[in-house]
Structures are given as structure tokens and as C-alpha cells.
Chain A
Amino acid sequence: MKRVLLFLPLLIAVGVGVFLFAGLGKDPTKLESVLVGKPVPEFSLESLDNPDVKLDPSVFQGEVSLLNVWAEWCPSCWDEHEYLMYLAREQGVRIVGLNYKDQRENAFRFLNRLGNPYETIIFDPKGTLGFDLGVYGAPETFVIDADGVVRYRHVGVVNQKVWDEVLLPVIAQARGSS
């Protein structure tokens, strides 16, 4: 019995080691959205293209979409834009834009330079919808199913790796179940 007890510190050390090692690979800056499984929050905001057109959560009805939160002032948004163009043009993904805390003219300049992958763009100059969505750093990309329910939230740039490993499986699942 005494002998066995001598191994106790080793067992505890191994246990703590396993626990800490499991946490090593995780990126603490990426938080899971609390909205997963819930419908997109209510909103009524202007379309970026046309101030007279009001958009609401019904823009997400009927088809699985990506909701991409972007702004002209956000450097990473410039980086990921090319890939969004590819997704929209080559992969036929429906992308709804959320222009977050931006100015119209800046947003237009951005789109004129890099192209427009968005089917619709919600204009959110005060970041109210962004706040309700729990956006804490653009760019963020949400997967929204055909019923307007949030399925996933990705914080950071979307690229080939993120698309293949993260977003595509979620989208495939959302398409399958609705």
C-alpha cells in the first residue's frame, strides 16, 4: 500500500499534464457564438446600395447563406476579400454582407476596388446588429441556415483552409437538414 502511494505524485503530475496539454492547441481569442442554434436577432437596417430599402432577418430565409461582417477600415477584410469573391463566383455560395461601423463612401470605394461578392449588404454604421450578433472583431463570418438560424460563427479571415475544414462541413450539414 505504501509503495503504491509513492506513485501518487507521478499520477497527479501526469493528470495535470494531460489536462494542460489539451488546452495548448486552443486559440483563446476565438469564442464560440452564443447565437449558435438561435435565429438571427431582429433588425431593420438600410441596404448599403439603397438607403430607401430596409432589410430585416427575412433576407436569410430560403437558402443557406454566409453572413460576412466587414468594413473598409478592417485590414483583415482586405485580405479575405479575394477568397470571398472566389466563393461567390466559383462556388456559388450566397454571401450576405454586414457593413459594420463603416461609412457608405468608404464601403463603396472598397467594393469598387476589390469587387462585390455579396448578394445583399446590410448597412450597420452604428454597429447595432453587430452588437446583437456579439461581433467583437471584424472580419467574422456566420453560417445561417435556410430558416434564418445561426449554425456557426467564424472569427477571423476566411481562406481555403477555413473553408475546407470548417465552413464547408457546417454548410453541407445545414443544407442537408433543411
Chain B
Amino acid sequence: MRLLPAFLAVLMMLSGPAIAEVSEVYDFDTRAEEQRYQQLISELRCPKCQNQNIADSNAPISKDMRDEVYRMMQDGASNDQIVGALVDRFGEFVQYKPPVDNRTILLWAFPAIATIGGFLIVAGVVWRARRREDEPPLSAEDRARAEQILASQSDKADRR
């Protein structure tokens, strides 16, 4: 039983390669550059394997795209230029974040529209409920009639 931790440790060491990611290695001058690269490839979508970003994908086309991102970074290109170059080849599909323009404004604005719409509905419901509370539940006339009816009912009950 004392061997169990050691056994588990060995198992964990062996499981390392199974979760190893994409293999090629790029050299970056600074840590910030490397982070920029990681950020870029995690936001670009693989055209072949459509539900993966190019950071996770092993498809040859993703490797080509990573190579291109790296090459353009070494040439001093900005993020917009790099994404733009890939969009020019593969289409807007490769961007996980679509740009804000006339066609996508509804998509971007929808969360705000839904939130404001929901808020207005709730406000409306509350406002109507409040207004109903302010009104006396019964008018004086109705109250008198109700009392009359109740009195006659209790009379009947007394007689029994």
C-alpha cells in the first residue's frame, strides 16, 4: 500500500505524452511576443476542422497558418495585419471574433438589446403591480355592499 503513491506518480509521468499538444517549436525574443503569438493562434479558427482553433488543430492547413502567423510576426506585422492576411485568403470564417460592421452589428448589439428589453419588461410588470396596489381594493360602494352580504350570511348562520 505504501507503494501506491509511487505507482500513481509513475502513471502520471507516463500519461504526459498523451496530452501533448501541437509539436513544432518557435523561438521568440521576448515572453510578450510569445504570448502575443499564443493569443493570435487561439483566436484563429481552422478552416478544415471547423470547431478547433489553429493552436489546437493538427491539420496541415493549421500548421501552415501558424507558420504564417510566426513569419509575419518576425517581419514586424501587427495583429490586425496578420489576421487581415489570413482573412484575405480564407475568409472571415477564420476569425472567432467577427469584426463590428453593418452586417454584424445586430450580432454584437444583441446582448445589450436583450438585456435592455428584459429590463423594460420587468420594469413594466413592476410598475403595473405598483399601480394596482395604490388603488383601494374595493370602492366605498362595493365595500358597503360586501358588508351587507356578509351580514345577511351571518344572520342565516345564527338562525340555524
> Residues of A at under 8 Å CB distance from B?
28-29, 31-34, 101, 127, 131-137
Q: How big is the B interface, by class?
A: 10 to 19
- Judged by a CB distance under 8 angstroms, whether B87 is at the interface is yes
Interface residues of B in 55-97 (CB under 8 A from A): 60-61, 64, 68, 87-93
> Are A34 and B88 interface neighbours, CB within 8 A?
yes
Q: Which of A34, A132, A133 contacts B87 (CB 8 A)?
A: A34
> Are A127 and B64 interface neighbours, CB within 8 A?
yes
Q: Which residues of A contact B88 (CB under 8 A)?
A: 34
CB distance from B54 to the nearest CB of A (A): 11
* Complex Cα–Cα for A135 and B48 (A): 9
| 8 closest cross-chain pairs (CB), A and B | A136-B47, A134-B89, A34-B91, A134-B90, A136-B48, A136-B61, A31-B93, A137-B48
Known contacts A101-B60, A137-B61; decide if A132 and B48 are in contact (CB<8 Å). Answer: no
* Complex Cα–Cα for A29 and B93 (A): 11
- Judged by a CB distance under 8 angstroms, whether B35 is at the interface is no
> Are B61 and A29 interface neighbours, CB within 8 A?
no
For B47, the closest partner residue in chain A by CB is: A136
CB distance from A128 to the nearest CB of B (A): 9
* Complex Cα–Cα for A170 and B23 (A): 42
Known contacts A28-B50, A131-B68, A136-B47; decide if A33 and B60 are in contact (CB<8 Å). Answer: no
> Are A31 and B68 interface neighbours, CB within 8 A?
no
Q: Which of A29, A101, A134 contacts B91 (CB 8 A)?
A: A134
Can you identify 27 A-B contacts, CB atoms within 8 angstroms? A28-B50, A29-B50, A31-B47, A31-B90, A31-B91, A31-B93, A32-B91, A33-B91, A34-B87, A34-B88, A34-B90, A34-B91, A127-B60, A127-B64, A131-B64, A131-B68, A131-B89, A133-B89, A134-B89, A134-B90, A134-B91, A136-B47, A136-B48, A136-B61, A136-B90, A137-B48, A137-B61
CB distance from A138 to the nearest CB of B (A): 10
> Are B89 and A34 interface neighbours, CB within 8 A?
yes
For A35, the closest partner residue in chain B by CB is: B89
Q: Which residues of A contact B87 (CB under 8 A)?
A: 34
For B91, the closest partner residue in chain A by CB is: A34
* Complex Cα–Cα for A131 and B89 (A): 7
* Complex Cα–Cα for A127 and B93 (A): 20
Q: Which residues of B contact A132 (CB under 8 A)?
A: 89
* Complex Cα–Cα for A113 and B140 (A): 102
* Complex Cα–Cα for A34 and B87 (A): 8
Q: Which residues of B contact A127 (CB under 8 A)?
A: 60, 64
Q: Which residues of A contact B61 (CB under 8 A)?
A: 135-137
* Complex Cα–Cα for A136 and B50 (A): 11
* Complex Cα–Cα for A132 and B68 (A): 11
Interface residues of B in 109-145 (CB under 8 A from A): none
CB distance from B27 to the nearest CB of A (A): 21
Q: Which residues of B contact A136 (CB under 8 A)?
A: 47-48, 61, 90
* Complex Cα–Cα for A28 and B48 (A): 10
* Complex Cα–Cα for A28 and B92 (A): 14
Beyond contacts A33-B91, A131-B64: 4 other A-B pairs, Cβ-Cβ < 8 A, are A31-B90, A34-B91, A132-B89, A133-B89
